[in-house]
């Protein structure tokens, strides 16, 4: 391995200064996490997909534009009816909606009782990339329409703050989405706490490195 390659982690692809892999111990999750990443997602420093899957023993990251069906994307047989996908389209949520995962029916309306639908999920799909890239993945993979549509109501903006512009106030990073969804599907609140703590560490290291390079002191987090 040459010196240039040694500067980057082979797992998360981040520089050694930003790599958090040594601090992560994967959990044995029941609900499989599948992340589909657009091939043009190039943000090594602030991208979180490869970091997110490090937290889960039962997970996979696939890079590409389209797959014929869920089984091809996953690499094994799977029943689409028992899988969910983070929905990118509009959803009319009641103003008093509590923080959590909202399951939608085929018409895009929230289910009155989402518990049975969520309890029966065997896996969940997250789309990784910029907003336009994620939408491209959605439209190029028609089989996603066969999965249960899920909406995350986090109640707070992304920890990215001003570091990365999000298209919607409720938009969050792939890691934040995985932390929020999986901690609830796995009924493990500590999982979200741990993942977000790591994400804050990544963002602070990024700020420190950026400000050191510019010769300015590190400002407080956004």
- Span 25-46, average pLDDT: 92
Min mean pLDDT across 58-62, 120-124, 169-173 is at 169-173
Q: Which helix (H) or strand (E) holds 166?
A: none
Alpha helices (H) along 37-144: 49-53, 70-74, 115-119, 131-140
The pLDDT of residue 214: 66
Return the higher-pLDDT residue of 59 and 167: 59
pLDDT of residue 191: 95
Q: What pLDDT score does 153 carry?
A: 85
Residue 194, pLDDT > 90, answer yes
7: pLDDT strictly greater than 70: yes
Ranges of each domain in the chain? 3-87+101-214
164/213 Cα distance (integer angstroms) = 19
**pLDDT, the chain, mean:** 87
Using one digit for the tens of pLDDT, what is the confidence trace for 79-98?
999 999 998 766 666 666 67
Measured CA to CA in angstroms, residue 204 lies from 18, 221, 222 at distances of 9, 7, 10
Token code pair at residue 198: 């790591």
Residue linked to tokens 């959590």: 100
Confidence of residue 118 (pLDDT cuts 50, 70, 90): very high
For residue 1, name the pLDDT band (cuts at 50, 70, 90).
very low
User: Encoding tokens for residue 92?
Assistant: 């009319």
The two structure tokens encoding residue 101: 């995962």
Tell me the pLDDT band of 73, cut-offs 50, 70 and 90: very high
Which of 111-120, 194-203, 210-219 is predicted least confidently?
210-219
Q: Give residue 58's pLDDT.
A: 97
- Contact status, residue 163 vs residue 37, Cβ threshold 8 Å: no
CA distances from 165 to 49, 92, 211 (A): 17, 24, 19
- 3 pLDDT above the threshold of 60: no
- Asked whether the beta carbons of 189 and 182 are under 8 A apart, the reply is no
Please tell me the predicted confidence (pLDDT) of residue 162: 81
């Amino acid at each position: 391995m040459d010196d240039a390659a040694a500067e980057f982690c082979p797992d998360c692809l981040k520089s050694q200064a930003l790599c958090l892999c040594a601090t992560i111990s994967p959990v044995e999750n029941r609900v499989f996490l599948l992340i589909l990443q657009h091939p043009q997602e190039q943000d090594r420093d602030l991208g979180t997909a490869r970091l997110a899957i490090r937290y889960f023993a039962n997970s996979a990251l696939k890079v590409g534009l389209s797959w014929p069906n869920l089984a091809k994307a996953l690499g094994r047989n799977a029943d689409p009816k028992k899988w969910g996908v983070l929905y990118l389209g509009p959803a009319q949520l009641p103003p008093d909606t509590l923080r959590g995962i909202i399951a939608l029916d085929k018409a895009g309306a929230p289910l009155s009782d989402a518990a049975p639908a969520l309890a029966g999920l065997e896996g969940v799909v997250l789309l990784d990339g910029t907003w336009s890239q994620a939408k491209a993945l959605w439209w190029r993979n028609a089989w996603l329409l066969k999965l249960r549509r899920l909406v995350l109501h986090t109640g707070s903006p992304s920890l990215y703050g001003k570091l990365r512009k999000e298209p919607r106030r409720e938009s969050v990073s792939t890691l934040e989405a995985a932390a929020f969804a999986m901690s609830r599907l796995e009924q493990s609140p500590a999982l979200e706490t741990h993942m977000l703590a790591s994400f804050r560490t990544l963002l602070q290291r990024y700020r420190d490195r950026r400000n050191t390079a510019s010769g300015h002191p590190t400002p407080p987090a956004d």
